[in-house]
Amino acid sequence: MKSKKILTICCAVCLCIGAMTATAQNQPRRDRVFISDLEGIWMNDAYIEALRKIRMPHQAAKSASPVVIAITRQGRAYPYVATDFDKAVFMMILALEPDIKPDSYRLVLGQKNEPTSAEDVTYIWFKGQRDADRKFRKLAFQEVFIMNGKWADYEHVGMELGPVMNGLVLAGRYKDNGGREWSFTEQGQATFPDKSFYYELSINDKKARCEYFEAEDLDAPEGITYYGYAWKTGKLQLFRAEKKKDRVRCEAKPFAVLTPQ
């Protein structure tokens, strides 16, 4: 009789363990990585470091080649874009696959968002760990289109490139030598003492003689006015500029010297 009770208890324990195992198998793994976990703009660390140091994109690109990887959702698809601001590649992410090694994965890319044979896909390997809040902020990518398969570290800098670049280069509040206020926002709004306008940074212009940004100007012949700028001893210098024969040139002397506030 005692043996029968023990057998009954053992059976119940086995059933309980089986149910727990089945439930665990049906639940998504906590460490599973999805394509959506990578969504946003990834910029290589070497370029970010150079840009943060001198805050001038043309000059920064001479010391560290810029590489940007963008992964954004469009409907049900996830395009993969890689660029060095000179050339770019556009592919579709078909899958994300884990590696045998921990914290290592690969993206499966195709020309179109449709079933593709193994011979026609390209793999982008990456590795990294989540932060405490389960988000990826640092990853190493083996980028094959722009970097020719060379590994490099990348930082997640946001969801749009424009605000990121503006924030690293110009965004902030300033005062000139007369105490007047000037400002640039990450969203591309510039406010001078006498006017306000939208601006766009030049991040890759090998013909230009200076760093510059384009300003919306309805009174200008092409609707655009050019301003040069340079950072010197912690202050922002602004120059008048013009475009001649597809080349932007800046005046030698700044028309304003601004102190960050």
Would you list the DSSP string of 194-215? TEEEEEEE----TT-SSEEEEE
Tell me which of 25-29, 120-124, 182-186, 208-212 is least confident.
Answer: 25-29
- pLDDT score at 115: 86
pLDDT band for 80, please (50, 70, 90 cuts): very high
pLDDT at 184 over 90: yes
pLDDT band for 18, please (50, 70, 90 cuts): very low
Left (φ > 0), alpha (ψ -120 to 50) or beta: where does 92 sit? beta
Tell me which of 21-30, 136-145, 180-189, 196-205 is least confident.
Answer: 21-30
Tell me which of 7-21, 93-107, 112-126, 146-160 is least confident.
Answer: 7-21
Q: What is the SS3 assignment for 68?
A: strand
Per-residue DSSP letter, 118: G
Distance separating alpha carbons of residues 247 and 225, to the nearest angstrom: 13
The tally of CA atoms less than 13 A away on the side-chain side of residue 72 is 14
Sorted by sequence, the CB contacts under 8 Å of residue 3 that are 6+ apart come out as none
φ, ψ for residue 203 (rounded to 5)? -110, -10
User: What is the mean pLDDT of the segment spanning 130-139?
Assistant: 95
- pLDDT score at 220: 83
- pLDDT score at 117: 87
- pLDDT score at 219: 83
Read off the pLDDT of residues 201-242 as tens digits, 9 standing for 90 and up.
999 999 999 999 999 888 887 889 999 999 999 999 999 999
Read off the pLDDT of residues 239-258 as tens digits, 9 standing for 90 and up.
999 998 889 999 999 999 99
pLDDT at 6 over 80: no
Read off the pLDDT of residues 186-202 as tens digits, 9 standing for 90 and up.
999 999 999 999 999 99
With beta carbons less than 8 A apart as the criterion, state whether 174 and 260 touch. Answer: yes
pLDDT at 113 over 50: yes
With beta carbons less than 8 A apart as the criterion, state whether 213 and 188 touch. Answer: no
- pLDDT score at 59: 95
Read off the pLDDT of residues 53-70 as tens digits, 9 standing for 90 and up.
999 999 999 999 999 999
Number of H helices, E strands in the chain: 4, 17
Sorted by sequence, the CB contacts under 8 Å of residue 129 that are 6+ apart come out as 103, 136
pLDDT band for 23, please (50, 70, 90 cuts): very low
Predicted TM-score (pTM) above 0.85: no
